[in-house]
Structure 1
């Protein structure tokens, strides 16, 4: 892929993230001081990250947990498709439900909003392995929000050919006192 085509793709992907983030996300685009991990450049800030674990609030008492360990190394700043890491989630109510783990294949952040996608590598939901899912997180301190691709396109088993870095608006609320998410904002070089 030529550098111009890759740059155009990155610009299009980042524009989509920034549009979904809105003014609140762009106002928080200052650095966080996080250092790169595994880049070989001591003290260099990683290009982007989404980390943390928390439970979602549901009035019906659902037990829903999402965990993230997604990173874009400093040397890969111009290509969010080189993000690495994993994310996992589980959803149970009255003993019924499922869990899944995915390998990250894209990470875009804008301000305090992150969109991460990945392919399910392990799950107890029949037919889920090999399917791509996307999740959006809005890092609001202790009032984080989260959205997931299957809210609009059907459960992961029913979703075919979901593009990389596609999520939904972060409509769910994190349950107070159950954890927190941290977004390291991306600073593209263009």
Structure 2
């Protein structure tokens, strides 16, 4: 083979090797892409002076792709108006995503809302870039304390809008193997 041909073959081989390695991992550091995720923080857009913030750090590992009940992480929220309100933090017990929509549920582990600890809640997020939407399981009851028992991965439609410039949510779509 002449020198030009050898160089072309070597270059093509290197490009092919890089492409195969890149498709084998989505994270770029040798780890497989997680099965699903919901992350980010943002404030809700309210016509009143209410300050409502939701934050998520929920993940389903690639090895648990077939079981959304093995999701891990936390989510938290706060709701204040003129200094009055409450906050809560929940431990994730389920995460299901489809496309850019995520439903996460968890049990409240810490809160300053009397009676909230131990209650399961669910939140739905629609990742629409800079126009995300959010809904929560207690939308019709007033507070998580007033909500009857809730199964895992149950929430409401994402009816609230994120206030522009206050944050963003990111949903990694779940791709179960059926």
Question: Which TM-score band (shorter chain)?
Answer: 0.7 to 0.9
Structure 1 CA distance, aligned partners of 2:33 and 2:146? 38
Cα offset, 1:154, TM superposition: 4.2
Q: Computing the radius of gyration over CA atoms, which structure comes out larger, 1 or 2?
A: 2
The equivalent position to 2:27 in structure 1, one of 35, 47, 53, is 35
Counterparts of 1:153 and 1:117 in 2: how far apart (Å)? 17
- Per the alignment, residue 84 of structure 1 pairs with 72
1:69, CA displacement in angstroms?
0.1
In the alignment, structure 1 residue 98 sits paired with structure 2 residue 92: no
8 A Cα contact 1:152 1:168, kept in partner:
no
Q: Distance in 2 between matches of 1:182 and 1:89?
A: 17
Partner of 2:159: 171
Scaled by the length of structure 1, what TM-score is found? Answer: 0.78
User: What is the aligned-residue RMSD (CA, Å)?
Assistant: 1.6
Q: 1:157 is matched with which residue?
A: 145
Q: State yes or no: 1:52 paired with 2:44.
A: no
- The SS at the match of 2:129 is coil
For the residues of structure 2 that align with 1:135 and 1:74, how far apart are their CA atoms?
Answer: 22
Give the deviation of 1:145 after TM superposition. Answer: 0.2
Kindly provide the CA deviation profile for residues 85-142 of structure 1, in whole angstroms up to 9, marking residues without a partner as x: 0000000011110000000000000000000000000000000000000000000000
Task: Give TM-score scaled by structure 2 length.
Answer: 0.83
Q: Describe the SS at the equivalent of 2:80.
A: strand
CA displacement 1:48-74 (0-9 Å, x = unmatched): 000000000001121000000000000
Runs of 4+ more than 6 Å apart: none
Say whether residues 1:118 and 2:110 are aligned partners: no
- 2:61 aligns with 73
Aligned twin of 1:25: none
Per-residue CA deviations over 1:136-169 (Å, capped at 9, x if unaligned) read: 0000000000000000244211223200000100
The corresponding residue for 1:4 is none
> Is residue 89 of structure 2 the alignment partner of residue 108 of structure 1?
no
Q: How many residues in Structure 1 have an aligned counterpart in Structure 2?
A: 154
Work out the CA distance in 2 between the residues paired with 1:35 and 1:118: 27
Structure 2: which 5+ runs fail to align? Answer: 1-24
